[in-house]
Amino acid sequence: MPSEIPRRPIPLLALAILIGIAGCTSEESPTAPSNAASPFVAATGTYHAVDLGTLPGGPVSSAIAINNGGLIVGLSVTASGHEHAVLWKNRAIKDLGTLGGKSSRALALNNFGQIVGSSERADGKVYAFRWSDGVMTDLGTPGGSGSAAYGIDREGRVLVGGADGSVGIWANGVITRLPLPADSPGCTPTGMNPAGRAVGLCLVRQNLRGVLWRPSGIVGLGSLGGFPTSPTAINASGHVVGITRGTPDLGSRPFLWYLGSMIDLSAQGAPRGLIPNAINVDGAIVGVVGSGGAIHAILFQQGTTIDLGALLPGVDSYAFGINSTGDVVGHSGTATLWTRQ
């Protein structure tokens, strides 16, 4: 079973699926797949689920991100039982290898096909990597004994989180540390857009706070209804999505942040328990919702919610990435691509 590595603070990545963690609301927990009917708009005739397959002999895979050219990255368990970062091009899978260790995971890519993630080295430590033109490069760490890469912009700059809670931008072989909020011992980055803006989650006076890093400095995202926000993604236009964790009776709510304004998406028609994982340039948001004893991959845009469906009846589904044309990737028993019919 896969081991823990540096990852996003909210269990939304495919590696979380593979170790049995599901992205649910605070009141819900992962359950066995269910045949319960979805309460959302059916996607029949709109989206089609495609099995992306695994590495030869591998039992499972998961797709994490897709770029505007249709390249898909994620991870696949090998025949020997180790996770490897993979690339799907024209639905054919390619093993990206490792930094010398047994495992690796691809977490993001840009529109030029440069891929980032984390990999075990020969010494057993896990470090951030950038893969470009067939070469995987160890990016080092902004601090601590280990790191992971969470995003890459159009210039090839990489968002890196250190094991000690530091955050930095790797460019041309050098990591420049990003500022942390006052009184914060550390942050975990969660996403980066093509322009190099990044979002993350920081610990401030024993409370978690969502932040945005931009050239002018660090910006706090504020709160929704008085509760802290946890950003999960940022699109090319600077729109940030994420969730806020409320009290047990209020539950979690999805939010959209832009230019200092915080919008409660549940008040705009989004399912209250929606956990957004990605947003494209047109404002289409994908994520997951727990409902009826099952986990559903969801697309939400302009007040309309679509259940993307699953590869097989009764199988849970998770949406992790979306590109500018609306193609969605994630996991439904294995790596899955949802395309418009």
Sequence ranges of the domains in the chain:
51-177, 179-320
Which residues 6+ apart lie within 8 Å of 106 measured at CB? 64, 65, 73, 74, 75, 85, 86, 87, 96, 115, 116, 117, 131
CA angle 199/217/159 to nearest 5° reads 40
| Integer Cα distance of 321 and 308 in angstroms | 13
Residue burial 11-47, b: 16+ Cβ < 10 Å; e: rest: bbbbbbbbeebbbbbeebebeebeeeebebeebeebb
Length of the chain: 341
Per-residue pLDDT at 8? 31
pLDDT < 70 regions, the chain:
1-45, 246-251
116 bridge partner residues: 108, 130
Convert the pLDDT of each residue in 64-76 to its tens digit.
999 999 999 999 9
| Integer Cα distance of 179 and 168 in angstroms | 9
Per-residue pLDDT at 23? 30
Beta carbons within 10 angstroms of residue 176's beta carbon = 11
**Burial class, 250, CB count within 10 angstroms (exposed 0-12 / middle 13-18 / buried 19+):** middle
**Would you report the helix, strand and coil content of the chain in percent, each value rounded to 5?**
5, 50, 45
**Burial class, 302, CB count within 10 angstroms (exposed 0-12 / middle 13-18 / buried 19+):** exposed
Per-residue pLDDT at 38? 54
Convert the pLDDT of each residue in 101-154 to its tens digit.
999 999 999 999 999 999 999 999 999 999 999 999 999 999 999 999 999 999
What tokens appear for 96 in the block? 């990206």
Per-residue pLDDT at 34? 36
Of 207, 191, 287, 279, nearest to 241 (Cα)?
Answer: 279
Q: What is the DSSP string of 164-216?
A: TS-EEEEETTEEEEPP--TT-SEEEEEEE-TTS-EEEEEEETTEEEEEEEETT
Per-residue pLDDT at 40? 60
- The CATH fold assigned to 179-320 is Methylamine Dehydrogenase; Chain H (2.130.10)
Element (H, E) at 17: helix 14-18
Per-residue pLDDT at 44? 43
